[in-house]
């Protein structure tokens, strides 16, 4: 901002139907008129405008990355026709997966709502073969379908596996659908959670149908997983559908009567909407859950909605009802996990679970029999 000449500069992410093209605008503070000074034209990379180094001289610091190029910083001059000046030269630390196929896919729910997810194919992918799949997601609430259907994913972003990512399994022979869209919409007087379960199952079915139609997967060998509210989503999907061979739920909440004064975007308390709380609680529907579920939780989780007893009591209920379930408690870990030992053990547990119940799924009726999708 330059107060002397009455001008300021606006930096935008530049999401559009054609992709992401960040921009820089100049705004006249008196007239409120804007002028587009620069807009990225990169189609095979992602450019993020970090900050202005000298806006008056046209110098901005930008970050540029691609699927297999680690994010690096450059100085871009938007007034002079000179090349990018590199500030960093970080190399890709994940070269073993740098060439993995990655794309953002779009598809529709049965009510027409547009959805997206980032799809990865196995590192040893062979055309025509059917692979097991793991889908990872996190539900989000919206008050209108336009907001819920917006796409802010970019397939050119660097492929960066974090400690809790499902991306590692592309190297284990799995298709991975990461960040699958799970919008829960309530328009007008309707609240999103009034139809939570129905929308949840609709999102999952649409995602599986989309990848199956592409010819990549064996839809009988699909797993679902999530962390925190994603774990809550996972338990509900296994309780109310027969779409999955197994699930992984980390650091979740499963009994909403233990969070009686609201959760996520739910502002009604338990006594105002008891049916919603009970219907949404996997614990209350434990008798319908027959799909193998791996529960992981930090013993020192101090997040107010996900105390360790959430997993402990849900596990006891499922075990008492004969469901195939395993509980792993990570010592000294909170809502997220930090210790190398904890992370490596978590990854091993997840891998063993997926290998047993998804990739090498047995045709054992006692394991495979799952209830039909409920209304």
Catalytic site includes residue 240: no
Annotated catalytic residue within 227, 240, 297, 335: 335
Q: How far is CA 167 from CA 134, 157, 171, 212, 267, in A?
A: 9, 14, 8, 19, 34
Whole-angstrom distance, CA of residue 258 vs CA of residue 76: 52
Which run of H or of E encompasses 314? helix 309-320
Which run of H or of E encompasses 212? helix 196-213
How many C-beta neighbours within 10 Å does residue 23 have?
A: 15
Whole-angstrom distance, CA of residue 340 vs CA of residue 348: 12
Which SS3 state, helix, strand or coil, does residue 348 take? helix
Cα–Cα nearest to 227, from 203, 254, 201, 248: 248
Helices (H) and strands (E) in the chain, counts: 7, 19
Whole-angstrom distance, CA of residue 118 vs CA of residue 181: 9
Q: Which residues of 271-280 are buried (b: 16+ CB within 10 A; e: fewer)?
A: eebeebbebb
Catalytic site includes residue 228: yes
Whole-angstrom distance, CA of residue 346 vs CA of residue 328: 8
Annotated catalytic residue within 40, 301, 311, 342: 301
Catalytic site includes residue 54: no
Q: How far is CA 212 from CA 104, 161, 222, in A?
A: 15, 24, 10
Annotated catalytic residue within 228, 239, 241, 311: 228
Whole-angstrom distance, CA of residue 85 vs CA of residue 73: 9
Which residues are part of the catalytic machinery?
Answer: 228, 301, 335
């Amino acid at each position: 901002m330059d107060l002397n000449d009455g001008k300021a500069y606006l930096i935008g992410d530049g999401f559009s139907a054609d992709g992401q093209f960040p921009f820089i605008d100049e705004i006249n503070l008196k007239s409120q008129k804007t002028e587009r000074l620069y807009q990225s034209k990169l189609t095979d990379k992602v450019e993020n405008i970090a900050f202005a180094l000298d806006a008056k001289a046209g110098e901005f610091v930008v970050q540029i990355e691609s699927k297999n190029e680690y994010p690096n910083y450059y100085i871009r001059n938007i007034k002079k026709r000179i090349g990018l000046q590199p500030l960093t030269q970080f190399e890709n630390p994940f070269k073993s997966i740098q060439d993995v196929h990655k794309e953002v896919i779009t598809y529709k729910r049965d009510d027409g709502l547009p959805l997206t997810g980032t799809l990865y194919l196995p590192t040893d992918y062979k055309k025509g073969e059917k692979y097991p799949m793991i889908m990872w997601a996190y539900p989000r609430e919206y008050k209108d379908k336009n907001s819920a259907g917006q796409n802010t994913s970019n397939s050119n972003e660097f492929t960066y596996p974090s400690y809790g990512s499902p991306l590692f399994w592309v190297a284990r022979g799995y298709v991975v659908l990461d960040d699958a869209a799970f919008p829960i919409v309530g328009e007008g007087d309707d609240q999103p959670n009034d139809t939570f379960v129905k929308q949840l199952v609709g999102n999952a079915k649409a995602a599986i149908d989309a990848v199956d139609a592409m010819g990549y997967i064996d839809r009988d060998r699909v797993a679902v997983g999530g962390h925190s509210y994603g774990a809550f989503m996972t338990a509900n999907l296994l309780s109310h559908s027969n779409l999955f061979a197994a699930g992984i739920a980390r650091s979740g909440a499963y009994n909403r009567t233990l969070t009686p004064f609201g959760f996520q975007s739910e502002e009604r308390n338990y006594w105002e909407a008891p049916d919603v709380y009970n219907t949404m609680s996997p614990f209350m529907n434990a008798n319908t859950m027959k799909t193998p579920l791996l529960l992981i939780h930090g013993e020192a989780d101090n997040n107010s909605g996900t105390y360790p007893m959430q997993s402990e009591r849900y596990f006891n209920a499922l075990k008492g009802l004969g469901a195939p379930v395993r509980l792993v408690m990570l010592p000294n870990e909170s809502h997220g996990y930090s210790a190398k030992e904890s992370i490596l053990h978590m990854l091993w547990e997840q891998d063993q679970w997926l290998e047993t119940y998804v990739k090498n799924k047995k045709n054992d009726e006692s394991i495979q029999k799952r209830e039909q999708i409920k209304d």
